[in-house]
Amino acid sequence: MSETNPQRVAIVTGASRGIGAEIAVSLAGQGRHVVLVARDEAKLESVSRRIADEHDGASSIHPCDVSRTEALEQAVEQVASEHGRLDILVNNAGISRDNLMLRMTDEEFDEVIAVNLRAVFVACRTALRPMMRGQWGRIINVGSVSGLVGNAGQANYAASKAGLIGLTRSLAKEMARKNITANVVAPGFIETDMTEVLPDAVKEAALQVTPLRRFGRGREIAAAVAYLASDDAGYTTGQVLTVDGGMTMV
Ligand code: NAP
């Protein structure tokens, strides 16, 4: 993958752990300056140190709750103005509040939509101006196989991730002539805090429907994101790249 000069600037949300941390490390390895966004400042600092250790890479942290619209807008604007550019936006922050539909509360629904969908809309909207000024942009939104095929107990989560696909494709069509691409990476079961808490029976059921018979690793999602963020991915837009061990192949 080609590197560029001057250095491209990337924002990764949900970069304090799990998949987002791996994405941040991977983009830094490509020579990007990566701005790490999440709520836990100490964990962001530790990922930033890892980037310095592993890649001698440049990163900075910007603690922010992405469900707070004004704070998120300010974070994106501040990064763009401090660096004079914003090239790559990875919306990875995500939560689940699983419950069967019959029992799911409005709060459980709204909370998931606020982080997984509305924050993505807000971050994209704010990032577009600096990307248009730079006449180049890569937006990668982290979805889920739940958004493709649904999942019992995840009406809120699946709706947010399915919504993300419609948002991303609309954005891809609006921005194509501005040289800004927008794509979704849809992971299957990946080993992180989010899946660690699932009951063993659920994990076993997931393995049974995964042809590769193992959970994925964060860096395997990061590799897909790094490709879509690269200069060489310039002819790929509006796509959903599923990385799920074959779970949803058609
Ligand atoms: P995770 O380990 O639970 O990490 C979630 C990340 O999102 C953390 O960095 C967390 O940071 C951040 N976050 C959550 N709420 C936030 C908020 N309000 N504001 C800012 N940051 C927030 O999850 P993961 O497994 O790495 O998942 C990453 C993405 O992949 C999510 O979008 C998830 O839906 C998707 N995904 C995961 C799997 C899987 O199997 N793991 C499968 C499909 C899709 P703080 O707590 O520090 O704020």
What residue ranges do the domains of the chain occupy?
A: 9-237
The per-residue pLDDT of the chain, averaged, comes to 96
Q: Which of 23, 34, 35, 39 to mutate to test the pocket of ligand 1 (most atoms within 8 A of CB)?
A: 39
Q: Indicate the pLDDT class of residue 103, thresholds 50, 70 and 90.
A: very high
| CB-defined site of ligand 1, < 6 Å | 13-14, 16-20, 38-40, 43, 65-67, 92-95, 115, 142, 144, 187, 189-190, 192-195
Q: Does the pLDDT of residue 2 top 70, yes or no?
A: no
CB 139: neighbour CB atoms within 10 A? 26
Task: Classify burial at 2, counting beta carbons within 10 Å of its beta carbon; exposed 0-12, middle 13-18, buried 19 or more.
Answer: exposed
Residues with a catalytic annotation lie at 157
Q: Which of 19, 23, 76, 151 to mutate to test the pocket of ligand 1 (most atoms within 8 A of CB)?
A: 19
Write the CATH number of the domain with boundaries 9-237. Answer: 3.40.50.720
Tokens of 161: 């991730």
Single pTM value for the model: 0.97
The number of residues in the chain equals: 250
Dist. CA 31–CA 57, nearest whole Å: 7
Dist. CA 120–CA 206, nearest whole Å: 27
User: Which atom of ligand 1 sits closest to the CA of residue 43?
Assistant: 47
- The H or E element spanning position 241 is strand 240-243
User: Which atom of ligand 1 sits closest to the CA of residue 218?
Assistant: 26
CB distance 166 to 175 below 8 Å: no
Smallest Cα–Cα separation from 169: which of 185, 179, 182? 182
Q: Which residues contact 207 (CB under 8 A, 6 or more apart)?
A: 189, 213, 214, 215
Instruction: Give 32-47 pLDDT, tens digit per residue.
Output: 999 999 999 999 999 9
Q: Indicate the pLDDT class of residue 57, thresholds 50, 70 and 90.
A: confident
